[in-house]
Chains A and B, each alone.
Chain A
């Protein structure tokens, strides 16, 4: 009995020493995962995930606190990428998250705008130009379509316009005439 205890104790001491040494020698700091997750997120900063922006959501995912299917602007493809990165199963949208919508940009009806700057304060990416008592304008190229400016507007002059397909942003479609869908 005693010899058994001694043997196990000896093993434990040796292993403990090795691991202790390794813990010092191979110490790692920080979590590079957050940045990797953040790189996949679409950076709309829309808060539809219930976190106050993309980075906080990424942090929450990395900490295992948030599901990967909470980002509607990223679409299913975004979920797939997150699933691949984290080595977890794909999870479809569902529950309390909204389904993805067509990409759009905000548009301010300048005839109605009273220049209150509330939308400017709400815009997470500084995509609205203007000053107090002056008309505001959306810089369309920088608008992420997060809709955060729509609600604060006291005169409802902001609408979301779906980005139309033009020759400049047109994409080739997936060939549909494969065998399974033939006439």
Chain B
């Protein structure tokens, strides 16, 4: 159990998918203008990622095996696309407001490199099924965490006297950079 917990914590803090691995920047920048959107996006991504990590493990392990490994990326993309479609329908039905707020970024979870990256990293790290799930969930939680924190900062920055040329995405990128800098403090905590 400890080892699963370590995988989880490591994925959330030490090897944060956005701050340390610099993956998934597109929704990170795109859907972090408002806190509620960020929370929604985080929840959707967590759902997709956890499901994707599990099913991609099953596909990779039972369906593809070593001889069909060249199909890994392709089949993962298909599975993720399917899960995202499913999520989109669920969100549209259950929370039209959230659906509106997430806008284009919801279907774009498909092309979120974090979502494809984590199953591939799972394969690379030779994680077993549970490890894959925990790694996927940790990655997604880490994504949600930084995204929500980032959204909080961006909401506060709306009132700041940021120089005109740095307004909007520019200062957001700088903030993301400084956040990443801060997350380096965790380096070495869990090997």
Closest to B91 in A: A26
> Which chain B residues in 67-90 approach chain A with CB under 8 Å?
67-68, 71, 74-75, 78-79, 81-82, 85-86, 89-90
A contact residues around B123 at 8 Å (CB): none
Contact B71 A15 (CB under 8 A): no
A10-52 contacts to B (CB < 8 Å)? 10-12, 15, 18-19, 22-23, 26-28, 32-33, 36
The reply on B177 being an interface residue by CB < 8 A is no
Q: A140 interface residue, CB < 8 Å from B?
A: no
Q: Does B43 reach chain A (CB closer than 8 Å)?
A: no
B191 to chain A, nearest CB (A): 36
Q: Which of B67, B85, B101 contacts A19 (CB 8 A)?
A: B85
A22 touches B86 (CB 8 A): yes
- Is A18 in contact with B86, judged by CB distance below 8 angstroms? yes
A169 in the interface, Cβ–Cβ < 8 Å?
Answer: no
Interface residues in B49-79 (C-beta closer than 8 Å to A)? 59, 63-64, 67-68, 71, 74-75, 78-79
Given contacts A22-B86, A27-B93, contact A11 B100 (CB under 8 A): no
Q: In the complex, what distance in Å separates the CA atom of A27 from the CA atom of B93?
A: 7
Q: Report how far A123 CA is from B93 CA in the complex, Å.
A: 40
A residues near B59, Cβ cutoff 8 Å: 11
Residues of chain A with a CB closer than 8 A to B71's CB: 4, 7-8
Residues of B within 8 A of A10 (CB): 63
Kindly state the separation between the CA atoms of A15 and B43 in the bound complex, as whole angstroms. Answer: 22
Decide: B74 and A15 in contact? CB cutoff 8 A.
Answer: no
Q: With contacts A4-B68, A7-B71, A19-B86 known, is A12 near B92, CB below 8 A?
A: no
The answer to whether residues A3 and B68 also contact, given A15-B78, A19-B82 and a CB cut-off of 8 A, is yes
Q: Which residue of B lies closest to A89 (CB)?
A: B168
A87 sits at the interface (CB 8 A)? yes
* Residue in A8, A23, A28, A33 whose CB lies within 8 Å of B74: A8
Q: Which residues of B contact A3 (CB under 8 A)?
A: 67-68
Closest to B68 in A: A4
CB-CB under 8 A from B90, the residues of chain A are 22, 26
Question: Please, which residues of chain B bring their CB within 8 A of the CB of A23?
Answer: 89
Q: A7 to B93, Cβ gap below 8 A?
A: no
Residues of B within 8 A of A4 (CB): 68, 71
Contacts of B37 in A (CB 8 A): 87
- Contact between B63 and A18, CB atoms less than 8 A apart: no
Specify which chain B residues have a CB less than 8 angstroms from the CB of A28 in the assembled complex.
92-93, 96
- 19 more contacts with CB within 8 A, not counting A8-B74, A86-B103, are A7-B63, A7-B64, A7-B68, A7-B71, A7-B75, A8-B71, A11-B75, A11-B79, A15-B78, A18-B82, A23-B89, A26-B92, A26-B93, A28-B92, A28-B93, A33-B100, A36-B100, A85-B100, A87-B103
